[in-house]
A = this chain, B = another copy of it.
Amino acid sequence: MSQPQEKYRVTIAYGDGIGPEIMRATLAVLEAAGAPLEYDVIEIGEKVYRQGITSGIPDEAWEVLRRNRVFLKAPITTPQGGGYKSLNVTIRKALGLFANIRPTKSLHPYVETPYPDIDLVIVRENEEDLYAAIEHRQTTEVVQALKLVTRPGSEGIIRYAFEYARAYGRRKVTCMSKDNILKLTDGLFHKIFEEIAAEYPDIEAEHRIIDIGAALVAARPETLDVIVTLNLYGDILSDIAAQVAGSVGLGGSANVGTHAAMFEAIHGSAPDIAGKDIANPSGLLNAAVMMLVHLGLADIAARIENAWLRTIEDGIHTADIYRPGKSKKKVGTQAFAEAVIARLGQEPQHLKPVHFRKPGVSVEIRPTPRQPKQLVGVDVFIDWDEAGRDPNVLGRKLEALAGEAFRLRVITNRGVKVYPGGLPETFCTDHWRCRFVAAEEGGTVTPAQILELLRRIHEAGLEFIKTEHLYTFDGQRGFSLAQAE
């Protein structure tokens, strides 16, 4: 074999629950396969949380993570009760791990699944969407969260999906979004998908509305290859895919950024079976295989993966996938690792052996060249609970406050137009979106004029709670119209 003599230094964490035992099993296989790795161990998880460190990770660990850039992480236990932050979210955000990669494969007939031919990969955007968790409550009745979609972030993840497809010899990338409703946010994601797909004519590209797409993952998963999607949708799809493939205990995942990458099993710390040497180490082992590919150690990765497939095929199974009559032998965590080690150099005979190409999947997130924009109005949100919430009363008040620069175009309540010309069936909350546009058709306004408008609204005794400027970009509308506006 032509492996480099150079050693790669990676960070590892043994985690909680079944973490230590599956990590030991995984490291044993890596060593037996000759992976040229050295480790720095960091402490994360329950013990750290209990020390009062709400992030679950001590300060000194960050240096190690940032120096080594590659992290193999066993599952941790997040203590119950408030105040603890998700360690995964913290690490992803801090290290800019924008791509979450989750392969799902059925191992029929060795692992039970109603879908024998699943072989898909979900490439999930990892930093944006609703997971920025910017939430505000500004009235008695209404709470809001911001969903953010950015051009650089979308370009990054979509390009990653196509690069991945190319590097792993896959043929199709399916984009999933809800752009029939969310025309600007999901619409941007879909549009960028079309742009980037055009640069990869060798790979088939298609788009599905997320509801139909999720139903496909659930009921026709064999029709899918690489899926690229936004954060929340990807989160949901990943769980569906793992469940229908019966691979919750088997799957690995990668979180990849420009500067660093983290690899882990998709399952948690399973405290109920911890310390008993019965947990399946396959999830973390598969994560380690993804890590080897990432490091450019494609041959060693394939060696381990093929030995693992052969072990599964030989019916050597841990308790979670053992089925009397079908499996051959029930083994513990360490014995399973030894069975894999004993098969290093062998390939599966019925399942398809794997051959990884050198990675080449490296994508940078880049700023977008500035585009000129024009300020054409403002949405002023008002907390109002007077006059039986009659929109006409509020409408007339605001008409009188619009001044020379603006005209009141529409008031909506939960997205439904209620002024002018609302319907009596519409239930109105205390949260009113009041759209002011330039008085003259197609004209622009200034920030100073907006501040004046807000001052008039405030002095009239109305409470503005938030504002959204309305822009056009090169003349193109940068805001959605209200229903029937």
Contact = CB atoms under 8 A, between A and B. Distances in A.
A195 interface: no
Interface in A39-72: 55, 66
A358 interface: no
A70 to B, nearest CB: 14
Interface string A280-318: 000000000000000000000000000000000000000
A431 interface: yes
Interface in A423-451: 423, 425-427, 429-431, 433, 447-448, 451
A399 interface: no
B135 A367 contact: no
A396 interface: no
A163 interface: no
A219 to B, nearest CB: 4
A143 B184 contact: yes
Contacts of A212: 239
Contacts of A451: 451, 454-455, 458
Nearest to A184: B135
A89 interface: yes
Interface in A114-150: 114, 127-128, 130-138, 140-150
A260 interface: yes
Contacts of A128: 414
A479 B367 CA distance: 29
Given A142-B150, A463-B447, A243 B215 contact: yes
Given A367-B141, A467-B467, A416 B135 contact: no
A214 interface: yes
Interface in A178-192: 178, 180-185, 188
A458 B466 contact: no
Nearest to A140: B371
A84 to B, nearest CB: 11
A483 interface: yes
A463 B414 CA distance: 28
A232 interface: yes
A93 interface: yes
Number of copies: 2
Contacts of A416: 93-94, 127, 132
A216 B240 CA distance: 8
Nearest to A218: B218
Nearest to A446: B458
Interface residues of A, number: 111
Contact of A389 (B95, B367, B483): B367
B151 A141 contact: yes
Interface stretch (A1-9, A28-36, A335-343, A469-477): A469-477
Contact of A415 (B85, B148, B423, B429): B148
B243 A218 contact: yes
Contacts of A148: 142-144, 414-415, 431
A211 interface: yes
A320 interface: no
Contacts of A367: 141, 385, 389, 429-430
A204 interface: no
A484 interface: yes
A277 interface: no
A152 B142 CA distance: 9
Interface in A239-282: 239-240, 242-244, 257-260
Given A236-B236, A448-B458, A466-B466, A185 B143 contact: yes
Nearest to A235: B211
Nearest to A131: B181
A30 to B, nearest CB: 26
Contacts of A143: 148-150, 184-185, 188, 478
A365 B141 CA distance: 12
20 contacts: A66-B425, A127-B414, A130-B147, A130-B181, A132-B414, A132-B415, A134-B433, A135-B480, A136-B480, A137-B184, A144-B146, A145-B147, A148-B431, A210-B236, A211-B235, A211-B239, A217-B218, A259-B425, A466-B467, A466-B469
